[in-house]
Amino acid sequence: MVSNLDEESMGAGAFVNTTISSAPYVLNVASDFTTGEVQTTLHSITIRFGEYSAGAGFSLSLYSDDAGLPGSLIETLTGDDAPNDAADYTYTSFGATLEAGTT
């Protein structure tokens, strides 16, 4: 198990893309991570929401790396699509394989 819930949010690897076409707007936030020394299977990702809720329509997806930007979609995890409280929310993977030493 790996956890970075105690790290500062929106760290150096964060990518933010806001699209405003009409209310409500869409906010895409991405952060990179590097896998360990061995291939592993992803089981779940836990996200800590703070004071503000994500609201209806929230989704969590895993993308490949494309020179520091989100690349190809690997999977969309399942979980609460309307997290409303400051809490930790866990999203379940279908079992994506994460290759060793990749970002």
User: pLDDT tens-digit profile of 2-33?
Assistant: 565 666 655 444 444 444 445 556 667 777 78
The three-state secondary structure class of 35 is coil
Flag whether pLDDT at 1 surpasses 70: no
Q: Residue ranges of the domains in the chain?
A: 33-98
The three-state secondary structure class of 68 is coil
Q: Which helix (H) or strand (E) holds 46?
A: strand 44-48
Give the residue with greater pLDDT, 13 vs 81.
81
Q: What is the pLDDT of residues 37-78, one digit of tens each?
A: 999 899 998 888 776 666 667 888 898 888 888 889 999 999
